[in-house]
A and B are shown apart, each in its own frame.
Chain A
Amino acid sequence: MSSAWGIIRALNSGVKHLAVKRFTLRYPEEKLKFVGDGFQFDPQTGVGIAGLKGRHILFHDKCTGCQLCAIACEGIAEAIAMVKVNETWKHNKKTIMPQIDYGKCVFCGLCVDACPFYALYMTNDYELSSFSKEALIYTPSQLAVNPKVNQDVEIKIDERGATHG
Chain B
Amino acid sequence: MTAPLPPGIQLEKADDRIMTLNVGPQHPGSGHMRLIIKVDGDYIVSCDPDPGYVHRGEEKMAEYRNYIQNIPHLERPVIHDSCNILYPYCLAVEDLLGIEVPERAKYIRVIASELNRCVYTLYWLAIYGIFLGHSTMFMWPAGDREFCIDLLEAMSGARVTHSYFVPGGVRNDVPANFEERCLRQIDYFEKRLKQYEDIFYQNPVLKQRTEGTGVLSRMDAIRLGTTGSVLRSAGVDFDIRKKEPYDVYDNLDFQTQVLKEGDSYARSRVPYLDMLESCRIIKDALRKMPKSGSVRTKLKPNPKGGNEEAYRRVESGRGSLGMYVVSDGKPEPYRVKISVGSFRNLICMPYLLKGEKLGNMPAVYWSLNYWPVEADR
Contact = CB atoms under 8 A, between A and B. Distances in A.
A120 to B, nearest CB: 15
Interface in A1-54: 2-3, 6-7, 9-10, 12-14, 23-24, 32, 34-36, 38-39, 41, 45-53
Contacts of B204: 2-3, 6-7
Interface majority SS on B: helix, strand, loop or mixed? helix
B188 A157 contact: yes
Interface residues of B, number: 42
A76 to B, nearest CB: 5
Contacts of A51: 157
A89 interface: no
A109 B68 CA distance: 12
Which of B64, B65, B68, B204 has the largest count of A CB atoms less than 10 A from its CB?
B204
B26 interface: no
B294 interface: yes
A20 to B, nearest CB: 10
Interface stretch (B120-128, B168-176, B259-267, B343-351): B168-176
Contact of B71 (A9, A108, A122, A157): A108
A157 B172 contact: no
B171 A35 contact: no
Contacts of B65: 75-76
A53 B157 contact: yes
A35 B175 CA distance: 7
A155 interface: yes
Contact of B161 (A2, A48, A52, A108): A108
28 contacts: A6-B203, A9-B198, A9-B202, A10-B200, A14-B199, A23-B146, A34-B154, A45-B294, A47-B171, A50-B156, A50-B172, A52-B153, A53-B157, A72-B69, A75-B64, A106-B161, A107-B158, A108-B72, A108-B161, A109-B157, A110-B68, A110-B69, A122-B157, A155-B146, A155-B147, A155-B185, A157-B184, A157-B185
Interface of B: 64-65, 68-69, 71-73, 136, 143, 146-147, 150, 153-158, 161, 163, 171-175, 184-185, 188, 195, 198-200, 202-205, 207-208, 294-296, 298
Interface of A: 2-3, 6-7, 9-10, 12-14, 23-24, 32, 34-36, 38-39, 41, 45-53, 72, 74-77, 106-110, 113, 122, 155, 157, 162
